């Protein structure tokens, strides 16, 4: 089943539970020289800077999951994926078409976590970056995104977190020499140090990443909202224990856990959500009031706009009437001017005719005689 290529560049496969920061991680690695392909999933409201997922591998995972009756988004607690032989051949084609001969290459898709053993068998020389995040932050991110899958069964999100991260831990324990297991916070706190660690630990020739890619405002953390961690610890001990195992394997200490134990009383968080919910309810009421006011203002503006449009139409009608009247005046003026010229020409002709008549000649001679003999009237 193994696939090897001559002159093959290092391969990095990036995996981790959904909403664990794998998109940000992949963006940093792309800026450091990792080829993640050209056909990438477009940005969305939940990932405004992009998912950085190669559509070829994304569609492969979705189709493979669907072919065995699993949710193609990867919302499953199945821990063993038996990939049909047809998809083995398709995977080889994927590798052939996406492999780089000039630089390290790889891909990222959270569903890859379900296929770790499959890809390790197919690409024994590949290296694996396994990213994880606290269950309370992942669950909060999933709930904020509003996936329909979890509206009727919110606990299912925690079960999926358990499944994905158990697969991550099991794979890491079996193949630690070809894996880097790392908490998202270790990446965002020191991006350059993270890439240096990856390059050294996995023999992955990468340059320094562009740290400005990371936008802290887009990554919602709950280090200080530690009642969430306490809730997981008290009522969901298995995910909490798994999270602690991941931290131990990655040599990471989560400050939020320490805050829970030191600053939060055992009963404080019980009322905290109630308080927060009522506060949010008040905010919703205030926003609804503002919305009603805004809608009324918009209605007034719309009415004023209609009035202005009517006034503008009236002005246009008046303007058209004035233009017609002006055209009529110009036409009348031209007609009068033509009539005046005709009458003037007729008068000149009449005068000329009079001057050539016998009467006019006798009159002229009479006037000359009067002037000569000084005759009076």
pLDDT classification of 104: cutoffs 50, 70, 90: very high
Round to whole Å and give the CA distance between 342 and 348.
Answer: 10
Give the Cβ contact number of residue 225 at 10 Å: 18
- On whether the CB atoms of residues 226 and 264 are closer than 8 A, the answer is yes
Round to whole Å and give the CA distance between 307 and 199.
Answer: 68
**Domain residues of the chain, as ranges?**
11-220+232-250
Q: What stretches of 8-116 adopt beta strand conformation (E)? A: 11-15, 105-108
pLDDT at 37: 84
pLDDT classification of 164: cutoffs 50, 70, 90: very high
Give the long-range contacts of residues 78-85, CB within 8 A, separation 24 or more: 78/114, 78/163, 79/163, 79/166, 79/167, 81/114, 81/115, 81/118, 83/115, 83/118
Residues of the chain above pLDDT 70, percent: 85
Assigned CATH topology for domain 11-220+232-250 = Rossmann fold (3.40.50)
pLDDT classification of 3: cutoffs 50, 70, 90: low
- On whether the CB atoms of residues 43 and 212 are closer than 8 A, the answer is no
Give pLDDT tens digits for 116-149.
Answer: 999 999 999 999 999 999 999 999 889 888 888 8
pTM across the whole model:
0.71
Q: How many CA atoms lie within 13 A of 150 on its CB side?
A: 20
Give the residue with greater pLDDT, 111 vs 41: 111
């Amino acid at each position: 089943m193994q696939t090897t290529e001559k002159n093959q560049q290092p391969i990095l496969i990036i995996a981790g539970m959904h909403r664990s920061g794998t998109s940000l991680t992949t963006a940093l690695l792309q800026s450091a020289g990792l080829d993640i392909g050209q056909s990438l999933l477009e940005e969305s409201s939940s990932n405004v800077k992009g998912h950085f997922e190669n559509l070829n591998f994304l569609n492969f995972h979705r189709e493979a999951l669907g072919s065995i009756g699993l949710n193609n988004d990867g919302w499953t607690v199945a821990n063993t994926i038996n990939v049909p032989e047809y998809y083995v051949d398709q995977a080889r084609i994927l590798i052939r078409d996406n492999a780089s001969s000039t630089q390290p290459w790889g891909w990222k898709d959270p569903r890859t976590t379900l296929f770790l053993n499959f890809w390790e068998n197919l690409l024994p020389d590949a290296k694996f970056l396994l990213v994880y995040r606290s269950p309370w932050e992942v669950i909060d991110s999933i709930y904020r995104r509003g996936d329909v899958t979890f509206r009727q069964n919110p606990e299912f999100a925690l079960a999926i977190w358990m499944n994905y991260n158990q697969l991550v831990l099991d794979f890491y324990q079996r193949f630690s020499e070809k894996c880097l297991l790392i908490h998202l916070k270790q990446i965002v706190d020191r991006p350059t140090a993270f890439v240096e660690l990856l390059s050294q630990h996995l023999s992955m020739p990468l340059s320094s990443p562009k740290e400005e890619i990371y936008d802290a405002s887009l990554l919602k953390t709950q280090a200080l909202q530690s009642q969430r961690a306490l809730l997981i610890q008290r009522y969901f001990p298995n995910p909490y224990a798994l999270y602690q195992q991941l931290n131990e394997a990655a040599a990471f200490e989560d400050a939020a856990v320490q805050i829970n134990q030191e600053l939060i009383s055992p009963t404080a968080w019980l009322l905290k959500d109630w308080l927060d919910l009522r506060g949010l309810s008040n905010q919703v009421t205030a926003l609804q009031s503002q919305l009603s006011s805004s809608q009324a203002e918009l209605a007034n503006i719309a009415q004023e706009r209609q009035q202005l449009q009517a006034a503008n139409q009236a002005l246009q009608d008046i303007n058209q009437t004035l233009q017609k009247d002006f055209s009529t005046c110009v036409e009348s003026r031209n007609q009068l001017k033509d009539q005046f010229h005709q009458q003037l020409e007729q008068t000149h002709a009449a005068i000329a005719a009079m001057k050539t008549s016998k009467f006019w000649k006798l009159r002229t001679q009479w006037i000359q005689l009067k002037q000569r003999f000084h005759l009076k009237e």
